[in-house]
Amino acid sequence: MSSSAEAGRRPAAAFFDLDKTIIAKSSTLAYGPSFYRNGLISRGDAVRGAVAQLLFSRHGASHDRMEQIREQVSQLCRGWPADRVREIVARHLDELIVPYVYDEARALLDAHRAAGEDVIIVSTSGHEMVGPIGALLGAALVIATQMEIAEGYYTGQIDFYAYGPAKADRVRELAAERGYRLADCSAYSDSITDLPMLEAVGHPHAVNPDRALRRLAQHRGWPVHVFSALPSARPAARP
């Protein structure tokens, strides 16, 4: 039976960025090879995406780089059938995403759920990619970029860009809708571009932070986490 204190406790949530916080790569760029094999992008686009993925994995993405990726993705996806994209994402999830989920992140997600908190993924990547990842990881819901779709095809326009202050605004809206007290909530991110979201909650955390966020987190006394363990890095079991 729940105690009176537990019964009266307001709900709380843990908000997680996705790329380099939960997974060790860019979820958007991860699907480049699959989109190429399915005829959605050219070989040159696939090569440029692979280079961008390498740079992102090593150095993260600055504001200017994020804006560049947003423009490139908007132009590339114009005319793509939305159902085809969803099918490709679902079919390659186990191959392209699961092996890159940090063990430490998975443990944190489990810990927040065990504490009775909602886990919410907040990502600049498209909802078509983030939604299935969130379902796989047991997230209560996701906040992600919404591309405009008309008659089943992407128009190249963006209905909602989940980036910077827009992430924090949606977090506040969600807290009002679901009754979260933000002072009791947590947020995790690797990037200084997520500072508005981190400042919106009572318990901000820096995960694999870029240089600017690491410096700020140390100055403010925020916890700094280094995630590195990946399922694919484990040695194969001997028969």
The domain over range 9-231 is classified in CATH as 3.40.50.1000: yes
194 belongs to the catalytic site: no
118 belongs to the catalytic site: no
Please give the average pLDDT of every successive group of 10 residues along the chain, which has 239 residues: 50 95 86 81 53 47 61 76 91 92 96 97 92 95 93 91 94 97 97 96 97 96 95 44
Confidence (pTM): 0.84
**Alpha carbon distances (Å) from 95 to 91, 151, 189, 192:** 8, 30, 24, 29
The reported pLDDT for the residue numbered 233 is 45
The reported pLDDT for the residue numbered 232 is 54
Q: Domain residues of the chain, as ranges?
A: 9-231
Instruction: Return the residue matching tokens 């005829």.
Output: 39
Reference 164, options 63, 85, 79; nearest CA is: 63
Cβ–Cβ under 8 Å, residues 121 and 143: yes
The reported pLDDT for the residue numbered 59 is 46
The reported pLDDT for the residue numbered 192 is 94
